[in-house]
Amino acid sequence: MRLGLRHDGDMRLGLRHDGDMRLGLRHDRDMRLGLRHDGDMRLRLRHDGDMRLSLRHDRDMRLRLRHDGDMRLGLRHDRDMRLRLRHDGDMRLRLRHDRDMRLRLRHDRDMRLRLRHDGDMRLGLRHDGDMRLGLRHDGDMRLGLRHDGDMRLGLRHDRDMRLGLRHDGDMRLGLRHDGDMRLGLRHDGDMRLRLRHDGDMRLGLRHDGDMRLRLRHDGDMRLGLRHDGDMRLGLRHDGDMRLGLRHDGDMRLGLRHDRDMRLGLGRDRDMRLGLRHDRDMRLGLRHDRDMRLGLRHDRDMRLGLRHDRDMRLGLRHDRDMRLRLRHDRDMRLRLRHDRDMRLRLRHDRDMRLGRHPEGHNFMSVLKKYRIQWRIKWGLFCHMNGNK
């Protein structure tokens, strides 16, 4: 275990523990903290107006957070499920699940939603005065909808059934094809669209101030969208991955994957992010005036961060190493390793280093150990006959 400390205008602290855990801290104007744990978990923090945090866990789950007006979050889980979120006026969400289901959402003035499931079902939605909806299912059924004063609907099914429709009053359409595909559309103030294909894919759309879209594919993937001031998006895939989004001043995002990884985000004045992975790693983030980040990995490593006026960082690893950092006017660093080595550092006008568990200062502890060593050496020489 190596500890290096330099204090000459900028304060640098380097700690290395048995080749796998590295901690570097530099405090001049920007505060950077880098932590590496056994080659797979990295944490980097820079505090100079923008706060960046990147976390990598066993090469498949990545989380990146930048706080300088826009908030970006990228999450990758076992190389097939990716989630990206950017919040700087426009909110973008991208989700990819086992290379076949993609979801993209942008909400600034035009809201676009694209969904692709197992290479054959695509859905695109744009809402900026004209609302366009495109749906393609297994290469043969296409549906395009445009709503900008006149509403046009085009439907083609296996090259033999074509339908074109333009709205000038109220338009009602009911269509049933070979017992399994049903389409109902009503546009007289509210527009409802229902589509059922071979008993397993359902689509419901209502546009009368609030626009709701529900899609169910083979009994396991559900999509709900409401846009009337608050925009809600719910997606469920194969019974275990859920995504909920509400945008009406507060933006909430909930994602659950295979019953053990949960992600919840609420943004009205406080933004909370909770992530749980395989029942042992928890991540909580709150961003209103104080930003708190809590991370727990395999029940022994905890990380807490608060960023309002004082920034506190607490890290506990395997029950014996604790790190606390406060950055308002005085910066305190406390480190405890295997119950016997404590480090306290205060950097405002005076810098204090070294604290023993018995309450003595560092010099008294050294003096005590020197006296004990002389006594032991004298007894050893006396027993051997060397005076």
Q: Please report the pLDDT score of residue 381 as a whole number.
A: 72
In one-letter notation, the amino acid at residue 69 is G
pLDDT at 372 over 50: yes
Q: Please report the pLDDT score of residue 379 as a whole number.
A: 67
Share of the chain above pLDDT 70, in %: 0
Produce one character per residue of 257-272: b if its CB has 16 or more CB atoms within 10 Å, e if not.
beeebbbbbbbeeebe
Q: Please report the pLDDT score of residue 126 as a whole number.
A: 39
Contact 233, 111 (CB under 8 A): no
pLDDT at 371 over 50: yes
Residue 386 per-residue DSSP state:
-
* Measured distance CA(86)–CA(161) in Å, rounded: 42
Contact 226, 211 (CB under 8 A): yes
pLDDT at 378 over 50: yes
Q: Label residue 380 by pLDDT band (50, 70, 90).
A: low
pLDDT at 53 over 50: no
Of residues 23, 26, 27, 25, the one with CA closest to residue 42: 23
Q: Please report the pLDDT score of residue 375 as a whole number.
A: 67
pLDDT at 373 over 50: yes
Q: Please report the pLDDT score of residue 159 as a whole number.
A: 34
pLDDT at 200 over 50: no
As given in the structure block, the two tokens for residue 265 are 């985000």
Mean pLDDT for the stretch of residues 157-166: 36
pLDDT at 374 over 60: yes
Q: Which residue has the tokens 């060397």?
A: 386
Of residues 308, 349, 340, the one with CA closest to residue 326: 308
Mean pLDDT for all residues in the chain: 41
* Measured distance CA(311)–CA(53) in Å, rounded: 14
Mean pLDDT for the stretch of residues 281-298: 39
pLDDT at 377 over 60: yes
* Measured distance CA(146)–CA(231) in Å, rounded: 20
Grouping H, G, I as helix, E, B as strand and the rest as coil, residue 232 is strand
* Measured distance CA(308)–CA(197) in Å, rounded: 53
Q: Label residue 179 by pLDDT band (50, 70, 90).
A: very low
* Measured distance CA(105)–CA(83) in Å, rounded: 11
* Measured distance CA(54)–CA(74) in Å, rounded: 9
* Measured distance CA(44)–CA(247) in Å, rounded: 30
As given in the structure block, the two tokens for residue 230 are 């608050």
Q: Please report the pLDDT score of residue 258 as a whole number.
A: 37
- The listed range with the strongest mean pLDDT (103-107, 309-313, 378-382) is 378-382
**Where exactly are the structural domains of the chain?**
356-383
Contact 304, 311 (CB under 8 A): no
Q: Please report the pLDDT score of residue 383 as a whole number.
A: 66
Of residues 153, 116, 154, the one with CA closest to residue 137: 116
Residue 355 per-residue DSSP state:
B
What are the tens digits of pLDDT across the range 211-239?
A: 344 433 333 334 343 333 333 444 333 33
* Measured distance CA(285)–CA(264) in Å, rounded: 10
What are the tens digits of pLDDT across the range 60-110?
A: 334 444 444 344 444 444 333 344 444 443 434 444 443 333 444 344 333
The pair phi, psi for residue 382, each rounded to 5°, is -65, -40
